[in-house]
Amino acid sequence: MARSALLNVMVQAARKATRNIRRDFGEVENLQVSMKGPADFVSAADRRVEQALHQELERVRPGYGFLMEESGAIKGADQSHRWIVDPIDGTTNFIHGIPHFAVSIALERHGELVAGVIYNPIMDELFVAERGGGAFLNDRRLRVTQRRELSDAVVCCGIPHRGRGDHALFRHELARVQAKATGIRRSGSAALDLAYVAAGRYDAYWERGLKPWDIAAGIVLVREAGGTVSDIDSGRDMLQTGNIMATNDALHGELGRELKAAQTASSARQAAG
């Protein structure tokens, strides 16, 4: 596959920034892990990878803006382009020695997502997609699954973190989907969850309370693999709401109805006290 110049730049940045990550992964005790909030960790590796990505992307595309998990928003001279970056998505896995985390880089042009790269450096799995150009895993073209019913589907979800989100609503959602689906998974990396939907490993995925850097690149991947991505509850922009549902398209209606029914049941329960 001949990759575009843009994707090449993003892939180079992802590879360069994670050059030392295997060493870090094996020596987490030296990584000055600290807490940003309840159950919300950050390590020296997150900061190092983010800095390296910032440096490299700024070098190859000077003036683009940035939105990064650890450093926040940086305005660029070029107002029409913005990188959305999560240096390590799956920090809790990283810290616990679970080899399931990834770098996530997306590019927004005039407010629209046009490219995404998600790289798991431990598995050496590189997921890339550019709008209109398809989605790929290590040069293999990706396609979502064709399963048409939840009863045949493996569905991934995110569980609200301690001190955040609507835990009661999640329990209703889980109960409904669990009663229908073949299996439920929870991985701890939203970026990889979306990449796995694109790759046909999961048939569907939903999670609430996410940030733009968790999902921006994955949205491009799922769309380019033929899947559907949307906000869970409304037609609003999921980058803003952080409540995302991604499916192989065929399952979008059925999963949406289950999540809607869960919402109704949860509200009724709350109203009843």
User: Whole-number minimum distance, CB 272 to ligand 2AM, in Å?
Assistant: 29
Query: Does 86 appear as a known binding residue?
Result: yes
Contacts of 35 (CB under 8 A, 6+ apart): 41, 42
CA distances in angstroms from 132 to 82, 135, 212, 215, listed in the order given: 19, 9, 21, 19
Residues 21-50 binding ligand 2AM (CB under 6 A) are: 39-40
Query: Does 69 appear as a known binding residue?
Result: yes
Contacts of 237 (CB under 8 A, 6+ apart): 231
Cα gap 144→182, rounded to integer Å: 17
Contact residue for Ca ion among 89, 173, 224, 258 (CB under 5 A): 89
Does 90 sit near ligand 2AM (CB under 6 A)? Answer: yes
Contacts of 196 (CB under 8 A, 6+ apart): 156, 187, 202, 205
Contact residue for ligand 2AM among 116, 121, 188, 200 (CB under 6 A): 188
Site string for Ca ion, 135-174 (x = CB under 5 A): ----------------------------------------
* Binding partner selected for residue 130 from Ca ion, ligand 2AM, none, CB under the kind-specific 5 to 8 Å limit: none
Angle at 46 between CA 41 and CA 48, to 5 degrees: 145
Does 193 sit near Ca ion (CB under 5 A)? Answer: no
Stretch that binds ligand 2AM, among 50-58, 167-175, 186-194, 231-239 (CB under 6 A): 186-194
Does 86 sit near ligand 2AM (CB under 6 A)? Answer: yes
Among 237, 3, 269, CA closest to 113? 237
Are 83 and 64 contacting, i.e. CB atoms less than 8 angstroms apart? Answer: yes
Q: What is the DSSP letter of 150?
A: G
* Binding partner selected for residue 164 from Ca ion, ligand 2AM, none, CB under the kind-specific 5 to 8 Å limit: ligand 2AM
Contact residue for ligand 2AM among 21, 52, 190, 225 (CB under 6 A): 190
The count of residues interacting with ligand 2AM (CB under 6 A) is 16
Alpha helix stretches (DSSP H) within the chain? 5-17, 21-26, 44-60, 91-95, 167-180, 190-198, 212-224, 238-241, 252-271
- Residue ranges for the known binding site for Mg(2+) are 69, 86, 88-89, 214
Q: Which residues bind Ca ion (CB under 5 A)?
A: 69, 86, 88-89, 91, 214
Q: Which residues bind ligand 2AM (CB under 6 A)?
A: 39-40, 69, 86, 89-92, 158, 161, 164, 188-190, 207, 214
